[in-house]
Structure 1
Amino acid sequence: MNNMSSYSTRKECAKGTDCKQAGIAHCEGCTQAFCIKHFNDHRRLLDDDLNVILSEYNDFKNTLTLESSNPFVTIRLQEIDIWENVSIEKIQQKAAELRQEIVHVKVTQIETLSSKFQALAHQIQESKEQDDFIETDLHRWARRLDDLRSNLISPTTIVLNEHHHNPLIPNISVSFLWTGNELFDRVLSNDVQIEQDGEVVEGVSFFMMYNEIRGKNNYAFGCHKVRVHIEHSSKQWTFLGINSALTPLQKSSHETKSAYGWCSSDYIYSNGLSQANKTKSPIEMNIDDIITLIFDCDNRQISMINERTDVKHELMVDTNNCPFPWQFHVVLRNRCTRIRILAT
């Protein structure tokens, strides 16, 4: 009886019908049991896979060594030099035009005032010599002299106007558009921890309130997908969406004008405003849900799909409020909320 019981409970080799031996060796990685022969085969296959990764590692190491002479960096530096030189030339040309305009006005004004003053002086002198003037003439001449004085050039006469809406030169900035697999990269405070090399983020403080997390990638063109797994949630409050990389991390970042996305409390955030979801399909982010976020930069739109319910929500993005590049933006409010980024 005991022998039959032992035989019926022994594990079979994972190779199934290809092997009649017992599975006495357990693999922690794939959680399968193998006989000794097939366990060794399994390890050799893993060793082959590791060699492939090591080869790719060495290739990337060589690429990284050559990165210091990356021609794309040189091209961008040259473009900045061109912008600098063109801007300086435009500024110098505009400055010369303004100086010439001021000098021209000064010369013209002096000539005009001199002519008017000489005519007035001649009239006063002639009236004095002929003793031909009365009180009204004196008042009139005094007013004319005051008028001439008021037309002299003074610090308040010439005004330099700044045209902010029509700049002389275009303003430029530098944005680094990192690509590749998305990972959690920055958090506002230690109330939230990034784990497993950026794949997982978790709220760890009893007192955390609206803590912001950003992804590492910057998005400015094309269409991109980010999939996340809600591994644990209190079902109270979680925000998923985007924010501009130009906006610094801050408390209640979901309320900034540059934040766009959805909250598990069935609210939508955009342009610094929140509004209740008015569609028939609720915004759900429950435990074990997988959420797909799509960042369509070309059409200035983001989408969220709950893979369990197959419900899709879409949101147009005003790039005046949320300028490129965009970043993956998460806000957690509750302890033990845990989110994992999945491979796409």
Structure 2
Amino acid sequence: IQAKELTSLQTVSKELHELAERLGKARIDDDYVETDLQTWTNMLEKLKDDVNTFSSSIYMQENPKEILVAKMYISKTLQQPREREQFRESYGPILIENNGFMATHIGPKNDTAYVRGLGEYSLGTHKIRFLFTKNSIHYITSFKVVSALMPIRGVSKSSYEGYGWSSMDEIECPGNQMIFNRNTLDMKGETSFEIELQLDCDNQKISYVNQRTKNKRELNVDITKCPFPWQVRFSLYEVGDCVHLLP
């Protein structure tokens, strides 16, 4: 019986892996319609039922606050913590090096470029530390959370948007109507700043602490505009702009 269950579990694992690859390709290509989402949701429901038949210690459940395919996740008790964030993909003239912990704008000219982290976050609280260095104060960089369903280049048929902050101390979010003290200088005018970014998935908000000024800012996230899972995305503009992920 145990051997039969193991074989069946391996089959389900293979099917989940194949489905994940299909979802990943559709997400990157931004090529899917409502009928595709319904088909994938039905497949996930079947696989969830299959997994739940093997053992009471292995189960899947749904988050009713989330929509379509993005609402499926493994129980929090099974979620493994990520030791450290790393860079995975980029758009524009970005060089990823130092084992995925550093990304640099390599030009040859100034232009907007993006780099995104490997981690995908849907549950719990996660802290990500990084050091931003710039050649000058005249160009804007930014960091934000975006939906993993959103293409790296930031253009999506689904109109998903990100939430975060720029080096000019501006909030970047849908509508950009949040209120904060514009008289408080934090990153503006600086060419280097170390940030601890916190993702609070359970309460649907993000915050950061500037390690030099000790200023803290917080931002609520509308998960209908930025659905789970979240990823961290950085925007660089000037040649030589660099972001280094810290332990």
**TM-score category of the 2 structures, normalised to the smaller one:** 0.5 to 0.7
Deviation at 1:186, TM superposition (A): 0.6
Q: Which of 85, 95, 98 is the aligned partner of 1:193?
A: 95
What stretches of structure 1 of length at least 5 have no aligned partner? Answer: 1-67, 87-169
CA distance in structure 2 between the aligned counterparts of 1:205 and 1:218, rounded to whole angstroms: 28
Q: Which has the larger radius of gyration?
A: 1
**What are the residue-to-residue correspondences of 1:16-165 with 2, within 5 Å?**
74=12, 83-84=45-46
Residue aligning to 1:318 = 222
2:69 pairs with 1:172: yes
Structure with bigger helix share is 1
Instruction: Report what 2:107 is aligned to.
Output: 205
Q: CA deviation at 1:80?
A: 6.8
CA distance, structure 2, for counterparts of residue 232 and residue 72 of structure 1: 48
Which residue does the alignment assign to 2:87?
A: 184
From 208, 213, 232, give the equivalent of 1:328.
232
Are the structure 2 counterparts of residues 289 and 85 from structure 1 closer, same or farther at C-alpha, using a change threshold of 3 Å? Answer: closer
Contact 2:135–2:191 at 8 Å: present in 1 too?
A: yes
Partner of 1:284: 187
Question: Who is 2:35 aligned against?
Answer: none
Query: Residues 67-98 of structure 1: CA distance to partner in whole angstroms, max 9, x if unpaired?
Result: x9896984795997683499xxxxxxxxxxxx
For 1:315 and 1:252, how far apart are their aligned partners in 2?
A: 22
Q: How far 1:209 moved relative to its partner?
A: 2.2
Paired position in structure 2 for 1:296: 200
1:314–1:276 distance in 2 versus 1, CA, 3 Å: closer
CA RMSD in angstroms, aligned pairs only: 3.6
Q: Contact (CA 8 Å) 1:212, 1:252: kept in 2 or not?
A: no
Inter-CA distance 301–207: structure 2 relative to 1 (3 Å threshold): same
SS at match of 2:197: strand
Give structure 2 stretches of 5+ with no counterpart: 1-5, 17-40, 49-66
Residues 266 and 276 of structure 1 are in contact (CA less than 8 Å); yes or no, is this contact kept in structure 2? no
Give the aligned partner of residue 94 of structure 1: none
Match of 2:121 among 206, 215, 219: 219
How far apart, CA to CA, are the structure 1 residues paired with 2:88 and 2:47?
A: 36
Partner amino acid, structure 2, of 1:322: C
Partner of 1:172, secondary structure, is helix
Q: Which has the higher contact order (CA 8 A, sep 6+)?
A: 2
Q: Give distance in 2, aligned partners of 1:298 and 1:332.
A: 29
